[in-house]
Amino acid sequence: MQISVVIPLYNQKDSLKFTLEGFNNQKTKYKFKIIIIDDGSEESSEDIIKQFYELDLKYIYQEHKGRAAARNAAIPWLNSDITIFNDCDRIPEENFVEMHVKNLKKNSICIGCPKEIYVSGNEERSKKIHHIILENNRLARELRYSKIIDVLFDENGKEISLLSWLGTFSGNLSIYTEHLKTGLWYDEKFTNWGLENLEFGYRAKQKGLELHRIRTAINYHIVHPRGKGFYEENIKINHKYFYSKYPTKEIYLLKPFMLGEISLQSYEKQISSVVSWENKTSKELYNKIL
């Protein structure tokens, strides 16, 4: 079984170092090759990459085109059975690769569990991050969005909702490479932040793939500040394009859900006569990414 790990990179070499350390510390019987796609970074990562000579690693540089194009740029280089996508600022837990490979089925996409690390300032930053991951991961928190969409899957991770594609985390995702090789690419017209991952999942569902949630495939996002209104602005821009591709009620309602204007329950009820997961929570679930 051959495994590839694709890491898109853009101006985050310090985070990349932590991420590569995470892959260097994997406890797995599977050998894997890492492909880093540098999406036109203005800073060099050569010094970081050279430190990880023990890893089977390939580095590819391209002009800046966005995360979707960066992920796609790796596809011609894939010679593996399985591909795992992991963003450059997401540190994999030691059994990350093992959990993805063990749980992935031929006609499915596996979605892991992303958590967040908040570390302010640079003083002893490295020690703090390692402490959280290796000794006290209770200090890392699961994304609110991840917790919300978890109800769309049963206790075994099987999808139980028409909206399961909302759980497509491209920074923690595995898929059989043959699906990528036969046309399931990311849409490169998404050049801004956001929603290219959900469109990928939505299209995968249309092709007959199932989404499977692996709560034990954990990676840790090193949170970095965004400008005021960043998320709202990019969601609106990318949703406009998404809806132009698929002018359905399902996609129309994505924007008010992402912006926290309607609950997940309301979203599902407007597209489905049955909400099979409704008894899993007594609260209305609103996204609060902004």
pLDDT by residue (tens digit) across 135-172?
546 667 888 899 999 999 999 999 999 999 999 999 99
**Domain assignment present for 285:** no
In a domain, 152, yes or no: yes
Burial of 81 (0-12, 13-18, 19+ CB in 10 A): middle
Domain count, the chain: 1
Position 129 confidence tier, pLDDT thresholds 50, 70, 90? low
288 located within any domain:
no
Average pLDDT for the chain: 90
Q: Is position 109 within any domain?
A: yes
Give tens-digit pLDDT for 185-243: 999 998 888 899 999 999 999 999 999 999 999 999 887 666 777 788 989 999 999 99
Q: Which residues fall within 8 angstroms of residue 219, CB to CB, at 6 or more apart? A: 22, 86, 90, 91, 92, 93, 96, 112, 114, 115, 171, 172
User: Is a pLDDT exceeding 60 seen at residue 121?
Assistant: no
pLDDT reported for residue 74: 96
**Is 264's pLDDT higher than 60?**
yes
| pLDDT reading at 107 higher than 90 | yes
pLDDT number for residue 61: 94
Query: Is 248 within a domain?
Result: yes
- Any domain includes 93: yes
Residue 287 maps to a domain: no
3-state SS string for the chain: CCEEEEEEECCCHHHHHHHHHHHHCCCCCCCEEEEEEEECCCCCCHHHHHCCCCCEEEEEEECCCCHHHHHHHHHHHCCCCEEEEECCCEEECCCHHHHHHHHCCCCEEEEEEEEEECCCCCCCHHHHHHHHHHCCHHHCEECHHHHHHHHHECCCCEECCCCHHHHCCCCEEEEEHHHHHCCCCCCCCCCCCCCHHHHHHHHHHHCCCEEEEEEEEEEEEECCCCCCCHHHHHHHHHHHHHHHHCCCHHHHCHHHHHCCCCCHHHHHHHHCCCCCCHHHCCCCCCCCCC
The one-letter code for the residue type at 51 is Q
| Angle at which helices 196-206 and 230-245 cross, to 10° | 30
Contact (CB, 8 A) for 109 and 223: no
How far apart (Å, rounded) are the C-alpha atoms in residues 237 and 85?
24
Among left, alpha and beta (phi > 0; psi -120 to 50; other), residue 80 is beta
C-alpha 104/C-alpha 116 separation (Å) is 24
Residue 289 domain flag: no
**In this structure, what CATH number is given to the domain that contains residue 110?**
3.90.550.10
User: Which domain covers residue 104, as residue numbers?
Assistant: 3-280
Dmax over CA atoms of the chain, in Å, equals 55
State both tokens at 110. Answer: 């596996």
Structure tokens at 53: 């000579």
131 pLDDT band (50/70/90 cuts)?
low
- pLDDT bin (cut points 50, 70, 90) of residue 176 is very high
